[in-house]
Structure 1
Amino acid sequence: MSKRVIIMHFEVESQAYQAFSEIKKLYTERKIKGEQMAVVTHVNDGVHQFKIDDFLDFTGNDHTAKNSMIGMLIGILGGPLGILLGWFAGSLFGASQDAKEIQGAQTVFEHVTKQIGEGETGLILIAEEDDNRPLNQLIMNELGGEITRLDFEDVEKEITDAKDVEKETKDSAQKSWQDKKQDSNEKEEN
């Protein structure tokens, strides 16, 4: 049994909320071992922001959406690095949700943006599954949704790598800006 980051996509926004409620039941019935779950919307406003509409920490650690693994994932997607690297799916990849496109994704960030397209609402769950059938039954058979499962350790590593790149980029940009300002000041003095 391994921990997974499970991304679920539905045709209708209300199905994400219904799945949120039904997954809570699966948790209380001990059919899944959930850690965190969030209803996530890819806002359709041209700026490619993701927002967490509802959040649950199953562990009792009182994580808020912002300081959770899901919150970090969403924060990177909507942050400067996500915009710089074009991880938002809407205008770049179109609305296609076909399996080949998902399999071709290079990063966890691309998986999320391809699963939850611009203007769509989905669900992200971090859980351990002894048996994936209860979740598959609910999401695919009862609600007609799609599921992508990613290895938790891979997601965690990509988030760490993205944070490192964000810091390096910020440091480099600040140094470059300071160098330009210094050059301008030196030219004005001469």
Structure 2
Amino acid sequence: MTDYVAVATFPDNATAYQAFSALKNSPVSAAVDTGAIVERDEHGNVTVPEGYNADFGAGIGTGSLIGILVGVLGGPLGMLLGWGLGASIGALSDADRADTRSSALLEFSRLVPTGRNALVLQTDEADTQALDDFVAHYNGEIVRRPLDEVLAEIETAEQASRQASAAAEEALKLQKKADREQAWDDRKTELRQKRQERINRIRQAFA
């Protein structure tokens, strides 16, 4: 058995819902640990309107892999990858950025364009053919990446996000300090100018 994270896409949003509903009542669901329909609206916002957990019934448990994955893709990293934005991310995968093309998170983020949805699944499969056939029955396509690979990328992404947040906070502190210093310099310049103007008026009065 191999653990995967899989994203299945379909010709339209309604078919994705139909397939997800059928999946929960299909023998194929034995290979699915958790899953959810993930949508990206016209503004690029990511939502999870429907989820499934094999152990706990409907709903995605807090802290589940699907929830964490959606959280990552819906956060700052997702904005960078294009998941949380309406803009195209084609520039991120051009020839001189070959390293990013192998990224599971990048690949997943590209599968849900603005206004569309997809099934995001955590699976445990000895043979991927059954789920492949199920998705193909609904004219869909499925992309899998090993669970360990996705978890490693999420960990790296979260670490990078923390570092970026810390760097942004430090930059903000430095900017605020610079702004205060500039404001004080401007105030001193203003006071010197007013002082000089008073001196000039006094000199003119006695001239």
TM-score, length of structure 1 as denominator length: 0.80
Partner residue in 2 for 1:176: 171
Normalized per residue, the structure richer in helix is 2
Q: CA deviation at 1:179?
A: 1.4
Q: CA deviation at 1:91?
A: 3.4
User: Identical aligned pairs, as a percentage?
Assistant: 25
The amino acid that maps onto 1:24 is K
- Distance of 2:53 and 2:117 partners within structure 1: 19
Secondary structure in structure 1 of the residue aligned to 2:164: helix
Q: CA deviation at 1:33?
A: 2.7
Secondary structure in structure 2 of the residue aligned to 1:177: helix
- Distance of 2:45 and 2:123 partners within structure 1: 25
Q: CA deviation at 1:183?
A: 2.4
Bigger-Rg structure (1/2) = 2
Q: Select the residue among 161, 179, 182 that pairs with 1:166.
A: 161
The amino acid that maps onto 2:160 is V
Structure 1 stretches of 5 or more lacking a match? 95-103
Q: Where in structure 2 are the equivalents of 1:66-145 lying within 5 Å?
A: 67-83=63-79, 85-88=80-83, 91-93=87-89, 105-140=101-136, 142-145=137-140
Q: Which moved more, 1:142-151 or 1:72-81?
A: 72-81
- When the two chains are superposed, the root-mean-square deviation of aligned CA atoms in Å is 2.5
TM-score, length of structure 2 as denominator length: 0.74
- Distance of 2:89 and 2:179 partners within structure 1: 41
Q: Where in structure 2 are the equivalents of 1:15-34 lying within 5 Å?
A: 15-26=15-26, 29=27, 32-34=30-32
Higher relative contact order (CA 8 A, sep 6+): 1
**Segments ≥4 residues shifted beyond 6 Å:** none
Q: How many residues align?
A: 175
Distance 1:61 1:178, change over 3 A: farther
Distance 1:52 1:106, change over 3 A: same
